[in-house]
Amino acid sequence: MALKHSRVRRSLLSVLVLLWSASSFAERLGAVLTAEQPCPATVSIKRPDNPGSIHLIPGRDYPVVGTNRADPSHYRLRFEDANPKERWVEIGCGRLADAPATTAGTDARRQSSPPPPPTSSRAGSMQSQLVLAASWQPAFCELRATRPECRDQTPERPDARRFSLHGLWPQPIGNSYCGVGERERTLSTSGRWRLLPALDLDATTRARLDTLMPGTRSDLQRHQWVKHGTCYGTDADTYFRHSMLLLEQLNASGVRALFEENIGKRLTATRVRAAFDDTFGKGAGERVRLSCSDGLIEELRIGLKGVVDDTAELGALILAAPKRSSDCRGGWVDQVGIQGARSR
């Protein structure tokens, strides 16, 4: 019996030593993780549970509160806006650094929230892969005539003859709502965009956005920022400036000219992709997906790869992207007004 009790005591002592070691290692870590990938922050290492769909935002620093072992495969980070607040991420998601010096006895592990988004001088998406969603507004309004941006659309308005900004979407699909609280996420997914927080945009940026994104009349910009922009790695002003820079290059290309010349006519996906090849280089068309509804070409979804900054070239970003398949083989290039049913 004494031998049995001795073994139990030794086992308990071993467990306590292991727990103390893990705790001590976490305390000694005293570091922050600078995110380099938009990795999910999960409640458990073994399960993909991620309440609130919390993801790292590239470029931000996150307090490290522990690791899973001395030779870690995962870091445990703290997210003040998450529930639960402490989450696991793989070590390859970022770069570990010593915690910066702090005042008032508060160390970086216990910061109340991550630092603010990078400033507008910073390059954009560090995660590399994006989709530029460019809408053909007459087709959009054909299917949604009651939207504020559609009620008074005329053939003379610029968006009747060029592409409009839908959004710039960090990939992969599902990489969205990074660090966004449950209330804002619910407002976004339910279409109550006017109740989302107003964006801090420069007056010039806002004026350009009102022209290039007619959907601002429905507060589309708030929805796009909350859903996609929060995963981009910059502030809102930079995110939309970069989005418009890429859209304007598309509108200055032979692709836009092809659509304008064929208003009221059908275009095949083959011709659209050929126009991309002619304008941006051979193979560019294979990176483009047509999105069609009721026989209309409603949108181009253009694959991109690379870091976007104020001098980014659309063609180079397209050619670096993976190829994209498309279920739509072509459709009508819609004109302003309700045209009714047409052959597909």
Written as one string, the DSSP assignment of 94-110 is: EEEEEPPP-STT--GGG
Domain with CATH 3.90.730.10 in the chain: 129-332
* 61-67: strand order across its sheet: 86-90, 74-78, 61-67, 31-35, 94-98
Q: Which two tokens stand for residue 50?
A: 């991620």
What is residue 17's predicted lDDT score, i.e. its pLDDT? 42
What is residue 249's predicted lDDT score, i.e. its pLDDT? 98
Buried b / exposed e over 228-254, threshold 16 CB at 10 Å, is: bbbbbbbbbbbbbbbbbbbbbbbbebe
Q: Who's near 268: CB < 8 A, 6+ residues apart?
A: 329, 330
Amino acid, res. 8: V
- E strands along 111-183, which residues? 129-136, 163-170
Q: Which residue in this structure is represented by tokens 């592409």?
A: 163
The CATH fold of domain 129-332: Ribonuclease Rh; Chain A (3.90.730)
Q: Which two tokens stand for residue 177?
A: 């709502």
Quick check: 214 and 162 in contact, CB under 8 A? no
Quick check: 115 and 283 in contact, CB under 8 A? no
Amino acid, res. 289: R
What is residue 177's predicted lDDT score, i.e. its pLDDT? 94
d(CA 326, CA 213): 24
Q: For 184-209, what is the HEC assignment?
A: HHHHHHCCCHHHCCCCCCCHHHHHHH
Nearest to 90 by CA among 110, 67, 108, 109: 67
How many C-beta atoms surround the C-beta of residue 123 within 10 A? 18
Phi/psi zone of residue 29: left (φ > 0), alpha (ψ -120 to 50 degrees), beta? alpha
What is residue 227's predicted lDDT score, i.e. its pLDDT? 96
- E strands along 121-181, which residues? 129-136, 163-170
Q: Which two tokens stand for residue 181?
A: 């609280």
Q: Which two tokens stand for residue 100?
A: 């910066």
Phi/psi zone of residue 341: left (φ > 0), alpha (ψ -120 to 50 degrees), beta? beta
At 23 the three-state DSSP class reads helix
Helix (H) or strand (E) holding 271: helix 269-280
Q: How far is CA 194 from CA 166, 197, 208, 236, in A?
A: 17, 8, 20, 17
At 55 the three-state DSSP class reads strand
d(CA 57, CA 4): 53
At 167 the three-state DSSP class reads strand
Nearest to 76 by CA among 127, 25, 14, 19: 25
Nearest to 167 by CA among 183, 188, 148: 188
Local mean pLDDT, 10-residue blocks, the chain (344 residues): 52 45 43 79 80 77 81 83 83 71 37 38 60 95 88 88 96 89 94 95 96 95 97 94 98 97 96 97 97 93 94 96 90 82 51
